[in-house]
Structure 1
Amino acid sequence: MTFIELDEIEYRINQLRKELILIAEITGLNSRETIYYSQKLDQLIAIYQKYYFKKVEMCC
């Protein structure tokens, strides 16, 4: 995975975070929609961290 792809994932994380906040404000913190978006965000962050730290290890 290249840094460009990492940038794309980071962009998507930020977009999903904004969506999550909006959904939570509308439907509440414990709604199915909020939980769904939160889980998707967690998955995306985990993917980002996996590849980011792999790049850091290769770099140094």
Structure 2
Amino acid sequence: MVNTEIDELVHRIKKLRTEMIEAAAETGLNSYRTISYSQKLDKLIMIYQKQKDIKEIVFNQNEMI
């Protein structure tokens, strides 16, 4: 289950990153649209990192058993 969630996050991060780059090319780096995408991307990356940490903890606990 965790792998599916992580895969979905990776997909969403890649899509949002592409949208942010397109927005920056169209409206500039300091536009509201680009900054909004950047902030959303930051949040998704933080969620991704937390999910990876959880997966690592669970994996390590299972190895101990």
Same fold (TM over 0.5): yes
Partner of residue 23, structure 1: 23
Superposed, which structure 2 residues align to 1:8-47 within 5 Å? 8-47=8-47
Alpha-carbon distance, 1:41 to partner? 0.2
Which structure 1 segments of 5+ residues have no match?
none
Aligned-pair identity in percent equals 52
| Pair member with larger Rg | 2
Alpha-carbon distance, 1:9 to partner? 0.7
User: SS at the partner of 1:29?
Assistant: coil
Deviations 1:2-48 (A, max 9, x none): 11111001100000000000000000000000000000000000001
| d(CA) in 1 for partners of 2:28, 2:2 | 37
Name the TM-score, length of structure 2 as normaliser.
Answer: 0.87
| d(CA) in 1 for partners of 2:39, 2:20 | 10
Which structure 2 segments of 5+ residues have no match?
61-65
